Amino acid sequence: MLNPDDTGAWGWIAVTTCVGVMAVMVHSDLRSAKIPNKLTYPAAAAGVLLHVVSAESVRSGLAQGFGGLALGFGILFLGYMFGGIGGGDVKAAGALGALTGINTTAYGLLYSGLLGGAIAMGLMIWKGKFLSSMKNILRFFFTALIPMLETEMPKDENQIPFPLGVALAGGWIWAMTEEGLLDAMPLIDLGI
């Protein structure tokens, strides 16, 4: 992450931009269940640019900016390919990755997954679909892992709309707070 203590004004601009992007992202995701391209594309470009102007060399700035973009986009793109994640969420993770760099992106994705799981479980319990959803998930994994059984996909009637943008913002805030603002030991050490 562009730490304001190390990079001065550029670090503060990056942190402020990232927080602003997350605020708009969460508002849009909760309001319309969409994260617009007019937010994610400029944020990704700004993230790469901020890394380039604040790094010791253009090469290291490009590596951090594009590395974070590729990691954030790439991991969520896998979920998008299987139909569980929207394209706006994928681009938002890429944009946040570009703004924060590789290490913060790795932790941001991890913490977003933890928060997303907690939010999803809470929504299933709230809607009274926890047991039926767990049954469908277990049936899917059982049929997918046993050869010669036709894979049984989870039923659409048990799906609950989920604001992944909220989990992404929460995960990145958690990672940014640990790494940059508190300079704390991560909750889960990824060894990076």
What domain range includes position 125?
4-181
Domain-embedded: residue 192: no
State the total domains in the chain.
1
Show pLDDT as tens, one digit a residue, over the chain (192 residues): 555 556 678 778 888 999 999 999 999 999 998 999 999 999 999 999 998 988 888 888 899 999 999 999 999 999 888 777 889 999 999 999 999 999 999 999 999 999 998 988 888 888 887 887 788 778 777 777 777 777 666 666 656 677 899 999 999 999 988 876 666 666 666 766
Domain-embedded: residue 190: no
Domain-embedded: residue 40: yes
Domain-embedded: residue 189: no
Domain-embedded: residue 187: no
Cβ neighbours, 10 Å, residue 190: 10
Domain-embedded: residue 191: no
What is the token pair recorded at 180? 């940059």
**Alpha carbon distance, N-terminus to C-terminus of the chain:** 13
